[in-house]
Structure 1
Amino acid sequence: MNSRPTPALPPEPTGAPASTDAPAYVPNAKYVLLLGAMCALPAVSTDIYLPSLPDVARDLGATATGAQLTMTGMLLGGAVGQLVIGPASDRLGRRLPVLIGIALHVVTSLLCALAPGIVPLIALRVLQGFFNASASVVAMALIRDRFVGSDASRLLSRLMLVIGVAPLFAPTIGGLIAGFAGWRGVFVALAVFGAGLWVVVWRRMPETLPAERRRDGGLRAAIAGYATLLRDRHFVALAVLPGFGAAVLMSYVVGSPFVLREGYGLSANQFALIFAVNGAGLVLGAQVNASLVRRYAPIRIIRIVLPLSVTLTLALLALALTGFGGLPALLVVMWMLLALVNFTPPNASALALGRHGAIAGTAAAFIGATQAGVSGTVSPLVGVLGGDVVAMAAVMAGSATIGFIVLALATPAYRAGGWTT
């Protein structure tokens, strides 16, 4: 148990204190695993497919940029999907939207396996992202239904232990599947994973939004909810921070197969090993953050981590430009940077969600859509700028720097007394 009082959060614009709609609840391991598997569905859909990108480009006669668009298309589809599914979960409850979304993820995965060209594949990946967004946005709303502040941040960080299994093992598994059944077999595996998750959610996921707390109305209510969020400048600033953190990560994700395999001549197995080691850094960072929020307010952690991230991205860019230290130096700095990536999203998301508990689904959708939209818009710049190590490092540095500027100018993190809440 954490005897330290939870750091105070700014009052919610709805006027309802967080404690009235976040009853005390201690999550067990099965609950954490369930939420982690839901949050991991988009990550698995991304990472298991990574080793196949060069093969997709060759098989479908596409450029590297075209193959990368099958990744970013899923992110953009996820951004739109969360904006739709979040308000739907506030109106219909949490179970129905996620069950429908995962079922349609299974269908689109099978259609991806049959795609005849790069353009249909990109379009289907957009739909796949739209539908599997239901799992992640509902998982976020489930957390806000029961937790706030540091408790929510700690649970989000613990979830990264489950989500982190995707970058650790998914590329290796995807490479093995692709070696046996081709890249189309990878999408069949995604359909099987989605079907299994659907069964688990159907049997095990509780309904955390009772009928009396659901919001009435359709499109008008959704628009009103988003209008409320947009009027809260502090919420918007906190909500976009995970997006720039995800842009750093996704720039690495979409660029690394070409940078490491084609630029540095690594084999598929060597790439998978490096990706797994970096994935371990992501998981380790998330767990360190989960321990730190027991002692420090989330905003205090963010205000230290973001400047460190900017420094490391600039160091990475310098190494890419000069070639100093070769691949080993590049990998060391990259590991350190990726170990910090998972500090900002859980803390910023928990603080943002704590301001709008009455429309948790809509708020979670806004955060998730911003995260997917920013990263999905920024990460293709790696291919546009040349797809080499300099392009990847430059986009990562730009994303981290903009995130730091948002924190400094649009939140009280660096103002006198502003970081004490």
Structure 2
Amino acid sequence: MVAPSPSRAATAQASAGPGSSRRPAAALVAVLGALTAVAPLAIDMYVPGFPSMGDALGASSSAVQLTMTAFLAGLVVGQLIIGPLSDGLGRRGLLISGSAGFVFFSLACAVAPNIAVLTGVRFLQGVAGAAGMVLARAVLTDRFHGADLPRYFAVLSQVMGVAPIAAPVLGGAILSVATWRAVFAALAVLGVLLLLAVLRAVPESLPPERRHGRGVASTFGAMGSLLARRTFMGYVLVVALAAAALFTYISGSSFVFENLHGVSSTTYSLIFATNAVGMLIAGAVFARLAGRGVRLNTLLTAGVGISLLGALAQVLQVVVVGETLVGTWITLFVTVGGIGMVFPGGMSIGQTVGRAAPGAASALLGGLQFFLGALASPLVGLFGEDSSLPMALIMLIAVAAAGLALVGLARPWQGHGEPDDSAVRGGPGA
């Protein structure tokens, strides 16, 4: 499969619709960023209401937590289905349907009579919410090329860094004046606003002549072709394993800072926010350097290296020096900062290498992120609660595995996926 040449890319962009070229890129990217934020908001906004939800529905804490697992499963399944389908059916119709479905299922969550119904509807809410995430990446790949693509992927990555921080705060504010059901009502309102924004600002980016028109089997066959390509899967694994490290940090850091180091929940929020700002700064640095012509593979390699350095320092600190608040904070800041460069780099290169089927490429990039993230999240609690070493080791293993995928499969020195790379090198098996 060959990526479009610059001239072909320009023609494709111009053919995306009569009004598409006149629409401000900033408005489009803003809407796509908001669509990317939906899933993190839906994951974390209702977490502060877990105790009251369990009381209201007569459910155990594990049953309540299962509603989050169901949403994550729906998010993975939805991306793997909607992404490839969009390569054959187009983006806009599926994006509108997914946004409308998210509104409907959010309202269904708000009125769920018991925990079993809520769990089932949360799965469907995840499937619908996946449309915004997977299609945002595909639309960017359809519409933008060259140095623009990594810059806008950096924006999506920054949104993914901010949304998990804002979500519990927003949820807590709602719960201070209403019940947990109001959180899902608020998500429905957000879904309506996004649906209106999609209708107004997101034109079809994949015209019929560029679609995979040989049926559903052919559409999903493109995903199989991508799975068989060493280079593409190398970049997918780099991003997914970095996501596993990030999910481990998100799930384990409150225990480490509040229980082991004795900080208050307010102080922990400050620490978490500071690390998130570091991730945002790293994304901004990535976008700036990419815009100045620094090669994406170089930036991606630097991001993996920085994360590996931070994770290794975290483990050595616990083993050699012992538990220290400042040391843990600094090493996590470095690790998360590196991930802030890995995400836009890996997604930009992965989508460029898989440009022949952007929806399928986006599905694999996003689906595997959340799949490995969901697997990694509960591991910290399984290895005891008297040390931060389990979290540190799991993060180190995930980042080290990302490094191995980068060197062994992606092989960044070959320069795949660069803005000036008009063809994917290495043939079908690459």
TM-score for both structures, normalised by structure 1: 0.86
CA 1:261 to 1:73, structure 2 compared with 1: closer, same or farther past 3 Å?
A: farther
CA contact under 8 A between 1:21 and 1:357: conserved in structure 2? Answer: no
The count of residues paired between Structure 1 and Structure 2 equals 407
1:323, distance to aligned residue in structure 2 (A): 7.5
| Paired-residue identity, % | 34
SS in 2 for 1:358: coil
What is the identity, as a one-letter code, of the residue corresponding to 2:403?
F
1:341-352 aligned within 5 A: 341-352=339-350
Q: Quick one: distance in 2 between partners of 1:220 and 1:20?
A: 26
What is the identity, as a one-letter code, of the residue corresponding to 1:299?
N
**Cα shift readout 1:163-210 (whole Å, capped 9, x = no counterpart):** 444244322222222233243332222222112111111222111111
**Cα shift readout 1:336-382 (whole Å, capped 9, x = no counterpart):** 22122121121112112212323211211121112222212222222
SS in 2 for 1:110: helix
Q: Quick one: distance in 2 between partners of 1:58 and 1:381?
A: 27
1:30-109 aligned within 5 A: 30-52=27-49, 62-63=60-61, 69-109=66-106
Q: State the match for 1:398 in structure 2.
A: 397
Determine whether 1:367 maps to 2:365: yes
CA 1:390 to 1:119, structure 2 compared with 1: closer, same or farther past 3 Å?
A: farther
CA contact under 8 A between 1:70 and 1:121: conserved in structure 2? Answer: yes
Of 25, 29, 32, the residue aligned with 2:26 is 29
Q: Quick one: distance in 1 between partners of 2:288 and 2:345?
A: 12
Task: Tell me which moved more, 111-120 or 333-342.
Answer: 111-120
1:19-418 aligned within 5 A: 19-22=7-10, 23=13, 28-52=25-49, 62-63=60-61, 69-115=66-112, 120-264=117-261, 266-294=263-291, 295-320=293-318, 324=322, 326-386=324-384, 389-413=388-412
**Cα shift readout 1:96-136 (whole Å, capped 9, x = no counterpart):** 11111122222222333345666554443332221111001
CA 1:325 to 1:356, structure 2 compared with 1: closer, same or farther past 3 Å?
A: closer
CA 1:307 to 1:90, structure 2 compared with 1: closer, same or farther past 3 Å?
A: same
Q: Quick one: distance in 1 between partners of 2:52 and 2:264?
A: 13
What is the identity, as a one-letter code, of the residue corresponding to 2:337?
A
Q: Quick one: distance in 2 between partners of 1:380 and 1:409?
A: 28
What is the identity, as a one-letter code, of the residue corresponding to 1:20?
R
1:140, distance to aligned residue in structure 2 (A): 0.5
CA contact under 8 A between 2:349 and 2:416: conserved in structure 1? Answer: no
CA 1:404 to 1:32, structure 2 compared with 1: closer, same or farther past 3 Å?
A: same
Q: Quick one: distance in 2 between partners of 1:110 and 1:419?
A: 41
What is the identity, as a one-letter code, of the residue corresponding to 1:155?
Y
1:303, distance to aligned residue in structure 2 (A): 1.7
CA contact under 8 A between 1:72 and 1:380: conserved in structure 2? Answer: no
C-alpha root-mean-square deviation of aligned residues, in Å? 3.0
What is the identity, as a one-letter code, of the residue corresponding to 2:412?
A
Q: Quick one: distance in 2 between partners of 1:272 and 1:223?
A: 42
Task: Tell me which moved more, 149-158 or 93-102.
Answer: 149-158
What is the identity, as a one-letter code, of the residue corresponding to 2:327?
A
Q: Quick one: distance in 1 between partners of 2:313 and 2:413?
A: 24
Q: Quick one: distance in 2 between partners of 1:318 and 1:277?
A: 23
Stretches of structure 2 that go unaligned for 5 or more consecutive residues are 15-20, 422-430
CA 1:16 to 1:285, structure 2 compared with 1: closer, same or farther past 3 Å?
A: closer
CA 1:223 to 1:92, structure 2 compared with 1: closer, same or farther past 3 Å?
A: closer
CA contact under 8 A between 1:81 and 1:130: conserved in structure 2? Answer: yes
SS in 1 for 2:213: coil
Q: Quick one: distance in 2 between partners of 1:55 and 1:259?
A: 25
1:36, distance to aligned residue in structure 2 (A): 0.8
Q: Quick one: distance in 1 between partners of 2:354 and 2:194?
A: 29
Q: Quick one: distance in 2 between partners of 1:252 and 1:370?
A: 18
Task: Tell me which moved more, 129-138 or 265-274.
Answer: 265-274
CA contact under 8 A between 2:236 and 2:346: conserved in structure 1? Answer: yes
1:311, distance to aligned residue in structure 2 (A): 2.1
Q: Quick one: distance in 1 between partners of 2:215 and 2:417?
A: 38
**Cα shift readout 1:38-84 (whole Å, capped 9, x = no counterpart):** 11111222232344456657776545x66555444433321211111
Q: State the match for 2:425 in structure 1.
A: none
SS in 2 for 1:207: coil
What is the identity, as a one-letter code, of the residue corresponding to 2:335?
L
What is the identity, as a one-letter code, of the residue corresponding to 2:41?
V
Task: Tell me which moved more, 54-63 or 122-131.
Answer: 54-63
Q: Quick one: distance in 2 between partners of 1:37 and 1:319?
A: 38
1:261, distance to aligned residue in structure 2 (A): 4.6
Q: Quick one: distance in 2 between partners of 1:271 and 1:340?
A: 21
CA 1:15 to 1:110, structure 2 compared with 1: closer, same or farther past 3 Å?
A: closer
Q: Quick one: distance in 1 between partners of 2:123 and 2:383?
A: 23
CA 1:129 to 1:266, structure 2 compared with 1: closer, same or farther past 3 Å?
A: farther
